[in-house]
Every structure is written in C-alpha cells, then in structure tokens.
Amino acid sequence: MKVLPILLLTAPVLLLSGCGSDDSGSARTSNVSFAVSDAPVDEASSVTIGFTQVELVKSDGESIHLDVEPAIPSNDYEQIDLLDYQGQDSALIITQQPIPVGTYQNLILHISDESDVNFVVDAEGTQDLKQPSNKLKLGGFEVTEDATQSFTIEFDLRKSLVMRGNTDSNKGYILKPHGVTILNNSEAANLTVTVNSSLYASIEECPTTAESTFVYLYQGTEGTPIDLVDQTDSDYVEGATLPTDAVAPYATASVSEVDGTYQFGYLPTGEYTVAFVCDGSADDSIQYDELTIPQPSNLITTMSLSAGSNTLDMGSIIE
C-alpha cells in the first residue's frame, strides 16, 4: 500500500521553530511551514490544485493569513498535483512564517478561482475541480513552544475526492474535508504492509492480479469482522443500512505495482485492526457497498503503531 500524506486538499506539514519572547513582553511565536501530501485515489491519474493562501483561525476568531510561495513568481498560487506527493513525500507551500503560539480552531486552505488551474484527470479525460467558496476547512491544531514542530495535512483522496453528479452526468469533482487530517510529524506513524503475490494468487476468492487488492485500516481493536465495513460517509450515505456497530476504515491503501507493498503515511499512533480485502476496487467512498471484510476471513490482525516506521507482513498471519 502507499502512504498518502496530503498537504493539499489527503496533507500539509507545519515546521515550527520556537522563538522566545523578549524582555519587552511580546507574545511568544513559532515559525511555521506548511507542506502537502496525499493518499491516491483509484480513478484519477492527476489531482491538481492551485493553493493561494493558508488561513489560520485563532481561538478568539481572529484570522492570520499566510500567502503561498509560488515557484513561478508571476502566479498568485502554487499549483500542485497531489498524486506527485504520496507516502512520506510532501510539497512545501509556506516556509518559516512566525505565528503566535496557541490553539487554532481552524486551518483553511484557500484555492485559486482562475480557470484551468484546478482539475482532475481520470479515465474520461480532464475534469473540472470546483471547490465551494474556493476554501477547504480542515479543523483545528495547536502550535506549542517546542523549538521545532512539523505537521502534515494528510488527504485521503479515496474519501475526500468526490464526483459531482455521476458517471452519466459528470459535473467534475469537489474535495470534502472528510478524510483530511492534521498531524504532528513527531507523533505520526507510518505503516508498510507486505502481501506477497503468491498469497492472494493461491486464494480462490481473490482476483488473479494485484490491482484490486487493498488493505483496510481501522482504529482500535474492538469489534468482530462483521462490524468492519467498507468506506462510507455517514453525511451522504443512502441505500443499504449500516450495521448498528459499524466501524468504518480510518484509511485504505491499494497494492504497489512496483514492490507489492501497501503503505499508509501520517497516522495517529495507537491500536489498529488491519484487514486484507481481495477486491476493494468496487468500494464507493460515500455509499455503503456491503463488502465482506476481511476477504478472505483469516487475513486480519491487530497491531500497535508507534511514532515512526512500522511494518507488517500479512503472510505471517496465516503461517
């Protein structure tokens, strides 16, 4: 699987260098930098966005606006293809800007409203990416007095990238805050899961190729396999009724065609359930699709993720 950090729409990084207050009693500040990273989405080969500004809303409602630093000086935006920054890769858009230490109730990414700057490339060609109000509100975070801090805004595009309309009435795409997280890098975990091709090739339920195979990651270790459901957004879900004790995945990842691994990046530390799914390509990120998870039933395990790199060999589960 691939780790997907997004600083755009699925992850940014905040680098905070503490600056002490002087004898005049001025407020304490930290220098902050923002980067973006992401987790890929099945149907897209490019998710390109032009970021113009990062707005930080303080606990008292006051806003601090930080302009992005475009690579092309004549632009007022930095255009980034999120799919170029997967796993632990990220792209800086704001570097070393001093802001007051404290709790911020919201981080808002401002997106260019210029034509042809924001778009998605999928199997049907180039589609518009329209963002309501040209803003993406991502929630709160805290800037402490630590000498250096780094944060990543992780965009899970399988959750956050949504088609407007449907395949018969395609009106382009939008991004939802659902599936976007802000994490302190020093406390974030990364997970690489290995599933040897001989493992799923020998299982009758699995497809003959790795393209549709996924690993589903759930926070916590409670619940039985029947409680583990596919990706769904409770704000939009229609049709099939979710189980009473349904647990939706925190993240999902597809196999890497290069080395047969699955990677998750920028995860909160703690306890997780890891489940293998032979065919997750039919999983709609909004609707409950009633997928059987895990598939096959014995490829499931629990593990504790600590800050830094973590690994899991799914083959060891059934040895």
Domains plus CATH for the chain?
16-186 (no CATH), 189-317 (2.60.40.10)
Q: Which residues pair with 277 in a beta bridge?
A: 214, 295
* The pLDDT value given to residue 165: 65
CA atoms of 8 and 235, how far apart (whole Å) = 22
The secondary element (H helix, E strand) that includes residue 272 is strand 270-277
10 Å CB burial of residue 123 (0-12, 13-18, 19+) is: exposed
Q: What is the pLDDT of residue 99?
A: 87
Predicted confidence at residue 106, as pLDDT, reads 94
The tokens for 255 are: 């196999």
User: Quick one: DSSP state of residue 8?
Assistant: -
Q: Which of 188, 193, 185, 244 is nearest to 217 (CA)?
A: 193
Q: How far apart are CA 152 and CA 11, in angstroms?
A: 5
Among 218, 252, 248, smallest CA distance to 232 is for 248
User: Which stretches of 112-201 are assigned E, i.e. beta strand?
Assistant: 119-122, 125-128, 135-137, 141-143, 148-149, 151-156, 161-166, 169-175, 180-184, 188-194
Rg (CA), the chain: 20
- Say which residues have a Cβ less than 8 Å from residue 151's Cβ, sequence separation at least 6: 12, 13, 14, 15, 16, 34, 141, 182, 183, 184, 185
Considering only CA atoms, which of 267, 266, 263 is closest in space to residue 218? 267
- The pLDDT, as a whole number, for residue 116 is 92
Low-confidence ranges of the chain (pLDDT < 70): 1-26, 40, 147-148, 165-170, 197-205, 207-211, 222-226, 234-239, 257-258, 318-319
Residues 239, 245: Cα–Cα separation, whole Å? 17
Instruction: Give residue 201's pLDDT.
Output: 62
* Burial class, 308, CB count within 10 angstroms (exposed 0-12 / middle 13-18 / buried 19+): exposed
Q: What sections of the chain are H helices per DSSP?
A: 157-160, 197-201
Q: Residue 1 has what pLDDT?
A: 36
Say what the pLDDT of residue 75 is: 92
Rounded distance between C-alpha atoms, residue 308 and residue 310, angstroms: 7
